[in-house]
C-alpha cells in the first residue's frame, strides 16, 4: 500500500508524508510515541513551535534524507504558517487512513488534494 502525501507550499512546493520512516524518525528525535506527538499538536494553544518544526521535518525527510532541523526552520520561515497545522493533520489522517470529517467528504478531499507516493 502506498502512503499518501499532502502538497504544501513552503520555500517551494513540497509534500508532507507520514510513512513509517517519518514516524520512526520523529519518535527517535523526541523520545515520545508518534501518536502522543500528534495528540499534542491538536492543543494549538500549548504546542511548542519547535514540536511543529520537528513534525514537519519528519514529514519532509522522504524528499530529502539529509534535511536538518535547522534547514527545516529556514524552510518554515518562507511558508504560510496559517496553513501548516491543518496540512500536517491532513497528512497524518491520510497515513492512518482516517478521513477528515465524514467518510464521504474525506474521500473526496483525498482524491483532490493527495497524490500517491511510494512508501
Higher pLDDT, 69 or 101: 69
The overall average pLDDT reported for the chain is: 81
pLDDT in tens, 39-91: 988 888 888 989 999 999 999 999 999 999 999 999 998 877 667 888 988 99
Domain ranges of the chain: 3-117
- Cα distances (angstroms) measured from residue 81 to each of 50, 57, 87, 88, 108: 13, 14, 10, 11, 25
pTM of the model: 0.75
Backbone angles phi, psi at 5, to 5 degrees: -120, 160
Amino acid at each position: 500500500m502506498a502512503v499518501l502525501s499532502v502538497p504544501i507550499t513552503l520555500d517551494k512546493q513540497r509534500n508532507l508524508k507520514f510513512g513509517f520512516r517519518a514516524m520512526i524518525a520523529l519518535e527517535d528525535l523526541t523520545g515520545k510515541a508518534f501518536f502522543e506527538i500528534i495528540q499534542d499538536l491538536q492543543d494549538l494553544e500549548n504546542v511548542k513551535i519547535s514540536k511543529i518544526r520537528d513534525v514537519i521535518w519528519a514529514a519532509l525527510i522522504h524528499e530529502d534524507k539529509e534535511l536538518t532541523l535547522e534547514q527545516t526552520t529556514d524552510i518554515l520561515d518562507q511558508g504560510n504558517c496559517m496553513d501548516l497545522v491543518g496540512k500536517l493533520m491532513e497528512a497524518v489522517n491520510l497515513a492512518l487512513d482516517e478521513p477528515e470529517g465524514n467518510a464521504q467528504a474525506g474521500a473526496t478531499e483525498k482524491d483532490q488534494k493527495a497524490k500517491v507516493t511510494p512508501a
